Amino acid sequence: MNELIYSYIRENKDEILSAWIKNMRDKADERLIKVVSDEMFARTSAEFIDMIITRLKDNEQEFLNRLTDFAEKVVRLGWPLTFVNEGLRLFSKITFEGMVDQGIVNRDNQMDIVYDFDSFMTPMNNEVVNMYSQTWEKTVSLQKIALQELSAPLIPVLDRITVMPLVGTIDTERAKQIMENLLQGVVKHRSEVVLIDITGVPVVDTMVAHHIIQAAEAVRLVGAHCMLCGIRPEIAQTIVNLGINLNEITTKNSLQKGIEAALEITSRKIVEMEEMEE
């Protein structure tokens, strides 16, 4: 029975293709037109139809491989999933209507053909959706790893002085890492002063402040000083408005000031060298 559908598609390949492309063009909105170029769209559509035609010749496994390749390709092109799904739906609609017009579908075999169509289209739909979600999941997990890598670095800048520059939003997960890295680093580098720089933290709310206070307290417990640097003026004002008490922590407005103070605590200072004389 499937033979009917395939032979119809094979014989009317060009008509289906042009009707399909025309229909999709009408549907596409401006945002899509930017992403999907005419030429690329025509080429991909033709490829899709070729793929379906060769399904007869190839065995099932071969077809599945090609389907996976096709799905991978549309994902790589960055076409929105709704667009691709709509495309598949339109394709089956055009083909089915064409078959009705030619009288291939009649009252007797109508239901059979509908069922066949369904079992013919469903795996393709599934494969495309599956490929999209796999790609997204992969992207998300990769980004998560990338984010973790830059979440809380500890840099020993001078003997006994370490800096932890924080950039970006601090969530619970990250706050935990900050605490761990901070304490481990203090012990490992034998730091006396740790500077936490929050120049790159966009919002300091009570939760962020709470984590900073806890981290500073823990650093104090392992016998080092903790200093908070890079408090921007607007952040200072919101901290005051929120009524957060940072009295226990030494604060400096810039990392430079912080390092100077840290040197002072460790009884050192930076001096300019005298000009060397010949």
Query: What are the residues binding another protein (CB under 8 A)?
Result: 169, 171-172, 202-207, 209-210, 213, 233-235, 237-238, 241-244
State the nearest-atom distance from the C-beta of 54 to another protein, in Å.
44
State the nearest-atom distance from the C-beta of 277 to another protein, in Å.
50
State the nearest-atom distance from the C-beta of 238 to another protein, in Å.
5
- d(CA 127, CA 73) in angstroms, rounded, equals 12
- By C-beta, is 54 or 148 nearer to another protein? 148
- d(CA 66, CA 253) in angstroms, rounded, equals 60
State the nearest-atom distance from the C-beta of 234 to another protein, in Å.
4
- d(CA 20, CA 181) in angstroms, rounded, equals 57
Tokens matching residue 64: 């599945």
- By C-beta, is 7 or 206 nearer to another protein? 206
- By C-beta, is 128 or 201 nearer to another protein? 201
- By C-beta, is 67 or 196 nearer to another protein? 196
State the nearest-atom distance from the C-beta of 231 to another protein, in Å.
11
CB atoms within 10 A of CB 184: 12
State the nearest-atom distance from the C-beta of 44 to another protein, in Å.
33
State the nearest-atom distance from the C-beta of 168 to another protein, in Å.
9
- By C-beta, is 199 or 266 nearer to another protein? 199
Contacts of 213 (CB under 8 A, 6+ apart): 246, 248, 249
Tokens matching residue 90: 């339109």
- By C-beta, is 164 or 170 nearer to another protein? 170
- By C-beta, is 203 or 222 nearer to another protein? 203
State the nearest-atom distance from the C-beta of 183 to another protein, in Å.
19
- By C-beta, is 174 or 252 nearer to another protein? 174
State the maximum Cα–Cα separation within the chain, in Å, rounded to a whole number.
109
Tell me if 49 sits within 8 A of 9, measured CB to CB.
Answer: yes
Which residues, listed in sequence order, are joined to residue 194 by a DSSP beta bridge?
162, 226
